[in-house]
Amino acid sequence: YSGLTAAVQAGATLKGNATYLLYVDGTNAGQAAAGGGTFTNAGTIAPGNSIGTITITGNLTNTGTLAMEFNSSGQTDKLNVSGVFNHNTGAGATVTVTPDAGYYTGTMVIPFASMFSGGAGSTLPSTIDSLVAPSSPTLSMTMSVLGS
Q: How far apart are CA 141 and CA 123, in angstroms?
A: 27
Per-residue confidence (pLDDT) for residue 2, from 0 to 100: 46
pLDDT on residue 112: 86
Q: What is the pLDDT of residues 114-128, one digit of tens each?
A: 999 999 999 999 989
Provide the whole-model pTM: 0.85
* Cβ(47)–Cβ(8) below 8 Å: no
Q: Which residues of the chain have pLDDT under 50?
A: 1-2, 32, 148
Distance CA 12, CA 2 (A): 19
